[in-house]
Structure 1
Amino acid sequence: MAIVKRDKIIVEPFLAIGNDEVVFLKGRVIKAYKEKRPSSRNNWLKNILAAIRRYSGSSVPMAKVEITFQEKSYVVATDEDGVFELQIGECKPSENLSEIVLFKVLEPTSKKSQSAQLEVVRYEGGTGVISDIDDTIIISHSTDIGKKFWLSISKNAFTRRPLPGVSSFYKKLTGNGSNPIFYVSSSDWSLFDLIKDFLRFRHIPEGPILLKDKHINLKNIWKSGGGNHNHKFEKIELLFNLYPEMSFYLIGDSGQEDPEIYAEVIGKHPNRVKGTFIRLVEKFDPDRKEKLKHIISLEHFHFIESSEEAMQILEEELSFN
C-alpha cells in the first residue's frame, strides 16, 4: 500500500459497541500519512521511520462528522484532539436494519477526505474482563521513560514481546471467547492499530480498545502513556454503565496507578468485581499497600509475579465457585 500524503483527512473509527438498547461510538479525525502494514522483518530503522509517520499527523479539531446507523443520521463535532463520540439510545438490533455504522467528514470540506465504516458489536452475559495493556500484556518498561520510549519507536506490533503466559491466562479468563474482554490503557489512539495487530499476532483474546484521548504528535511523543490516568476510571465507568448486568475481572500492573483506580472502582461497585489481578512490576511499596487498605479491603486483590501464578489462583476460584 502506497503512503498517502499528509493532507488527506482520515476518519479513524475506534469503537462501535453496545447492548440490546444502546450503541456507543468513538473515533477521531486527523490529517496523516497512511502506512504499509508492519512486518516482523522490519529492522529498528524502518520501525522508527514508521513511528515518525504515525505521530506526524495532526488532529482536526471542531470537524463535523456525519454518522449514519440504522437509517438515521447524526452530526457530531470533534474536540480539540480531533476525537468524537456518540451514544445512541433506543436502537435495538433488527434483522431489517444494518449493524454497520458509516462515518463521513462534512467539515472541513476536502476532495481528499475519506469515509469509513465499522460493524457494531453488542455484548451480553454475566462476566467480562477489563485489562490494562502496558506491562500487563505487553512488555513496556513504563517505569523507565528511556526504555519505554525506545521500545515504542524501535519495535512494531510483530516485534514487541508479550508477558510470558498472557495468552493462556486471558483465554482462561474469557472462557475461550465466551466472555468479552475490554482493554483500557493510557496509551494514545495513534497506537490503536499496533495494539490490535499485537493482540491478533500473539493469540491474545481480542476486544474493544479504549485509549487516552489526548493527541500525541512528534513534539510530545515521549509523553505517550504518561501523565494523568484518571481517564481510565472514566472509561471503566462507561463499561460498567453500558453493561449493568455484567461483573468484571480487573487486570493491571503496579507500575502505574491501576491498583488505586481499581480500588476506587470496587468502592463504587462493590458487588460487580469478581477479582483483581495486579502484576508486580517491581516490589510493591508497603506504604502504598497500606494506603490501599484504607480505600478498600484487599481480599479480592491478587498481587502476582507471573501469569502461571494468576492461572493457579483463577483455577482455584473457579473450582471453588
Structure 2
Amino acid sequence: MKAVQSTHPDKQKITLKGKIKRYFLTLLRLTDQPTVKIYRGFGNDKQLTIYGHVFRRSPLPRKKYRDIDLVNLLAVIRLFLVKPYPRTMVRIRFNEQLVTVMTDDDGCFQVELPITQPLTPGWHPVQAQLISQTITPEQVLAEGEGKVLIPHPTQFICISDIDDTFLVSHSATIAKRLLVLLTENAHSRMPFEGVVAHYKLLAEANSGLNATNPFFYVSSSEWNLYDYILEFSTKNDLPNGVYRLSKLKRLSQVLKTGKGKHHTKFDRIEQIINTYPNQQFILLGDDSQQDPIIYESVVRHFPRQIRCVYIRQIHAEHKARTEQLMASIEANGVASCYFAHSADARQHSIAIGLIPE
C-alpha cells in the first residue's frame, strides 16, 4: 500500500500563522497536504472490497527506528494527530473500471466493486483519487495506490487477531499496554516465541505450488496503527495478509487504544467468511479481551466453515470463562486449542492434520 500526497501545493502566500503551523507540522513529521490511503483489500470471482481513508492531515512515514523512549512516544502520538477529510469525493479505479464514492465523517471510504470476469489469484493493483468538488474543471487533489487479494483456492484461510495473539501487547492491563505502545516501536516490539514459525507452517500447509493459505488480520486496534502493525509484521516475517482494523481515534482517545467496539469485529469476520463461502477457516486469538466470545459466536453461525479455533492463554482471570467457551466450540463439532505456548498450538495443528509433522 502506498499513500500519495497532493501534487497540487497551495500557491497562495503563506501567513505568519501558517508558517508557524507548517514549522510545527514539519517538526512532528506531519503533512497538511491531502492524502489518500488505500489499505489491502480482498475479493472473489464476483466482487472486490476496496477501502481506505482520506486525510487533511496525516503522519509522514517513519524512516528510522531508534529505540529511544521520547522518539517512540512522539512517533506514536503523531499517528493520533490525523485529521480526516469527511464527506468528500473519491474515485476508485481498478483496471478500466471506475466508481465514485463519498467518504464518511471519519474520512473513510469502502466500496464493493463488481467484476465482470474472474481474476487470477494473487495481488492486483488499485488506485484512488481525491476529486475536488469546488474547482472547475475537475481537479485531482491527491492520489493513492493499493492492492487487493484474490486468494488461491487453498486448503483453508486463517483469520488472526493481532494484540496478544502474535504481538506481545498486555491488552488486559491498560497501563502496561500504553507503556509498551508509547515507549517501543515496530522494530523493538516482540512476537511471542514460536508464533511466527506456527503461522508460516499454517500459511504453507498443503497450499500447492506458488500458493499460500491466505491470512486476514482482524483487530480492535484502530486504523491509526496500520503502518505500525504492517511494519512489525514485515520486520518479523509474518505471513503476508489483509488487515481489517477498527475506527480511527483522535489524540484525546489514546487511552482507549485497542478498546474498539468488539461487535464490529464479528461483523468484519462475518464479511470475510461470506466472501469465501466454500472455504474452511482457522481462527486465532487470545483470552485478554473478547476473542473467545466472538469466536464462539462465529462458530455457532458458521459451524461447517470453521476448521479450528486457537486461543492463547494470557489472562488468568479469564481462564474459567474461556474454557467454557472452548467447550461450546467443541460441542459444535469444531476443533479447539487453548494454549499457553505456541509450541503447544503447533503440536495441536500437527495432531489434527493441519500441518505436516
TM-score for both structures, normalised by structure 2? 0.82
Change (3 A) 1:112 1:21: closer
Q: Partners in 2 of 1:174 and 1:320 — Cα distance? A: 9
The letter for the 2-side match of 1:92 is: Q
Q: Partners in 1 of 2:201 and 2:355 — Cα distance? A: 15
For residue 306 of structure 1, the aligned residue among 318, 341, 354 is 341
Q: Partners in 1 of 2:112 and 2:305 — Cα distance? A: 23
Aligned to 2:353: 318
**Is residue 273 of structure 2 the alignment partner of residue 245 of structure 1?**
no
**Is residue 155 of structure 2 the alignment partner of residue 155 of structure 1?**
no
Larger Rg: 2
Give the 3-state SS of the residue equivalent to 1:32 in structure 2: strand
Aligned to 2:113: 88
Q: Partners in 2 of 1:112 and 1:153 — Cα distance? A: 36
Q: Partners in 2 of 1:145 and 1:300 — Cα distance? A: 32
Deviation of the 1:285 alpha carbon? 3.6
The letter for the 2-side match of 1:31 is: R
CA contact 1:127–1:179 (8 Å) conserved in 2 = yes
Q: Partners in 2 of 1:203 and 1:51 — Cα distance? A: 22
Aligned to 2:42: 17
Give the stretch that moved more between structures: 174-183 or 240-249. Answer: 174-183
Q: Partners in 2 of 1:40 and 1:68 — Cα distance? A: 34
**Is residue 172 of structure 2 the alignment partner of residue 143 of structure 1?**
yes
CA offset digits 1:228-259 (Å, max 9, x no partner):
21111111111111111211110000011111
Aligned to 2:70: 45
Q: Partners in 1 of 2:145 and 2:33 — Cα distance? A: 17
Change (3 A) 1:246 1:231: same
Deviation of the 1:55 alpha carbon? 1.1
Q: List gaps (5 residues or longer) in structure 1.
A: none
Aligned length: 318
Change (3 A) 1:295 1:75: same
The letter for the 2-side match of 1:215 is: L
1:49-128 → structure 2 map (5 Å cutoff): 49-93=74-118, 99-107=124-132, 113-125=141-153, 126-128=155-157
Give the stretch that moved more between structures: 202-211 or 54-63. Answer: 54-63
CA contact 1:59–1:215 (8 Å) conserved in 2 = no
Q: List gaps (5 residues or longer) in structure 2.
A: 1-25, 206-210
1:184-223 → structure 2 map (5 Å cutoff): 184-212=218-246, 214-223=247-256
Q: Partners in 2 of 1:112 and 1:154 — Cα distance? A: 38
The letter for the 1-side match of 2:113 is: I
Give the 3-state SS of the residue equivalent to 2:331 in structure 1: coil
Structural RMSD (CA): 2.6
Give the stretch that moved more between structures: 145-154 or 127-136. Answer: 145-154
Deviation of the 1:173 alpha carbon? 1.2
For residue 8 of structure 1, the aligned residue among 33, 50, 65 is 33
Give the 3-state SS of the residue equivalent to 2:251 in structure 1: coil
Give the 3-state SS of the residue equivalent to 1:318 in structure 2: coil
Aligned to 1:28: 53
Give the stretch that moved more between structures: 11-20 or 250-259. Answer: 11-20
Q: Partners in 1 of 2:353 and 2:91 — Cα distance? A: 46
Q: Partners in 2 of 1:297 and 1:72 — Cα distance? A: 46
CA contact 2:58–2:83 (8 Å) conserved in 1 = no
Q: Partners in 2 of 1:99 and 1:291 — Cα distance? A: 39
TM-score for both structures, normalised by structure 1? 0.90
